[in-house]
Amino acid sequence: MKNQIKNQVKKYVVAFLLSNLTTILPIILILILVMGAVVAGSSGSSDSTTGKRTRLTAQEVAQKANISVERAEDVIKILNWQLSKEKFTLEGASGSLANAERESDFDPKLTNPSGGVAGYFQWSGWDGNTINGDRWAKASSRTLDSTVELELMSYELNHGYKKVKDYLQKATDPFESAKYWSEHYEGVLLSDGQTKLEKLEKDSKKWYEVFKGTIESDGSSGGNAIAGRLDVPAGQVAMDIPSGYSIDKEITKDGYITQSYPYGECTWYVFNRAKDFGINFDPYMGNGQDWAHKSGYEVSNTPTKHSAVSFQGRQAGGHPTYGHVAFVEDVKDDGSILISECNFVQSGQGTGITNYRVFTADQAKEFLYVTGK
């Protein structure tokens, strides 16, 4: 009897829905659209987003945080790296910044010889002193350089310290993030006086407020160009992408090989960077200036994206005997170009360190560009 009643009710419900379908369907669609808008609005209103970077300049950060412009540039480097490459939330990155401020005041060259530690986060094993361990052993080189140190941080966050990365990717509180980083990445217990909890709380909240509302997409998680924000004159070395230019793919150096070019050399870098875009150069192109004279390759004075620029001798600061080679990342409508390069002597950076330079259209016309295959 119960089953008969249920079946009868079902028939009535189905009949009602079918007879009123034209009335009910628009209402259902409206409800779906409204709910979707609410979800989208709530997810877009939070600063806890990833694949991002701040739109603030170093000058603005220096003014807001009452620090030097030089140190503000370091703050931005760390923040953007953690947001974009490691996908931290802003709260998570703010906690990490508070630790970097406590450890080094954002000075990548700061050392503590007695403890054998150095760098942004005072990694152990510096200058042969392994009293506190040897975390510098995982660095690409024992060089006090911001990029080397951030690459070391990334290596650790994706290997032995992955739980720290996982935590800060979901973090919703700057102070809790600062405490977690201090205890699990720095190895400083919260009960230890070195933790300086009051300062850690103050600084983590300070950095969150400095950058709150300034975070925007850098295109790294969507496959779009990664835009630059650093103001530098033409020809000057920059450790970040200059303003007005962009690169089509993040430079990670993952999988870069040393088949025939020594690690860290300009030739090694361009050979491998081209492969990031499916472009091939011969493993025996020669020294930097020789690339323009390798048979079988198209060479011209017209720059094109993802070509190799072969500097002859001292041209653009190249080596007087071997020249230099770099990778063309961007070509603007006005003819100016952005290059990335490794082992550029005048950069003052160590082997394997990537930097950028821009050249005006007039300067760019003087160079030789080699198109890969």
Q: What is the pLDDT of residues 119-171, one digit of tens each?
A: 999 999 999 999 999 999 999 899 999 989 999 999 999 999 999 999 999 99
pLDDT over 70 (residue 348): no
pTM over 0.75: no
pLDDT over 50 (residue 222): no
d(CA 224, CA 242): 17
d(CA 53, CA 69): 18
363 Cβ contact list (under 8 Å, min separation 6): 234, 235, 316
Give yes or no for a contact between 107 and 149, defined as CB atoms under 8 angstroms apart. Answer: no
Give the pLDDT confidence score for residue 91 in this predicted structure: 95
Give the pLDDT confidence score for residue 215 in this predicted structure: 87
Mark 175-214 as b/e (b = at least 16 C-beta within 10 Å).
bbbbbbbbbebbebeeeeeebeeeebbebbbbbbebbeeb
Winning range, highest mean pLDDT, from 47-56, 191-200, 325-334: 325-334
Confidence grade of residue 17 (pLDDT, cut at 50, 70, 90): low
Give yes or no for a contact between 373 and 299, defined as CB atoms under 8 angstroms apart. Answer: no
Q: Which helix (H) or strand (E) holds 53?
A: strand 52-54
pLDDT over 90 (residue 303): yes
Report the Cα 268 to chain-centroid distance in Å.
Answer: 21
Mark 226-248 as b/e (b = at least 16 C-beta within 10 Å).
bbbbbebeeeeebbbbbebbbbe
Query: Would the CA dihedral through 204, 243, 354, 73 be positive or negative?
Result: negative
Give the pLDDT confidence score for residue 312 in this predicted structure: 96
Give the pLDDT confidence score for residue 181 in this predicted structure: 96
Report the Cα 188 to chain-centroid distance in Å.
Answer: 27
Range in 10-24, 96-110, 283-297 with the lowest mean pLDDT? 10-24
pLDDT over 80 (residue 229): no
Percentage of the chain modeled with pLDDT above 70: 80
Confidence grade of residue 20 (pLDDT, cut at 50, 70, 90): low
What is the average pLDDT across 104-109? 96
Give the pLDDT confidence score for residue 46 in this predicted structure: 36
Hunting for tokens 């290596």 — which residue is that?
155
Give the pLDDT confidence score for residue 45 in this predicted structure: 32
Distances (CA, A) of 196 to 42, 99, 123, 186, 210: 35, 10, 19, 13, 21
pLDDT over 50 (residue 320): yes
Confidence grade of residue 300 (pLDDT, cut at 50, 70, 90): very high
What is the average pLDDT across 5-20? 57
Hunting for tokens 């089953």 — which residue is that?
3
> How confident is the prediction for the chain on average, in pLDDT?
85
pLDDT over 60 (residue 70): yes
